[in-house]
Amino acid sequence: MRSSDSSSSRSSMQRAVLQRAIYFILIVAGAVIVRTATGISVFTVFLITLGTILLGRIAFVLMTHSYDDQPDDESNAS
């Protein structure tokens, strides 16, 4: 049973690494396309793209974060 758990976690980790590698390749390819179209350096476009992704992740975390320290307990509301 443990071997199936470790193999499933290993495959999900490999999938996550593969997704990040694909995203990296797509970002670099997009940066090259923007470079040829506008003349801005590839590294600058790459940094702008990574910054945009990071800001999007931060915004997502802030929007989905619950600021309640204690969950609502309606069973004791008498």
| Dist. CA 22–CA 17, nearest whole Å | 9
Neighbours of 27 (CB within 10 A): 15
Handedness of CA 70, 71, 76, 78 (dihedral sign): positive
- pLDDT given for residue 1 in this prediction: 47
Residues 4-60 have pLDDT tens digits of 566 777 788 888 889 888 988 888 888 888 888 888 888 888 888 888 889 988 988
- pLDDT given for residue 40 in this prediction: 82
- Calculate the CA dihedral of residues 33, 36, 42, 47 and round it to 10 degrees: -60
Q: Under the phi-then-psi rule, with left for phi > 0, alpha for psi from -120 to 50, and beta for the rest, what region is 76?
A: alpha
* Better-predicted residue by pLDDT, 55 or 1: 55
Instruction: Tell whether pTM > 0.75.
Output: no
- pLDDT given for residue 32 in this prediction: 83
* Domain residue spans of the chain: 2-65
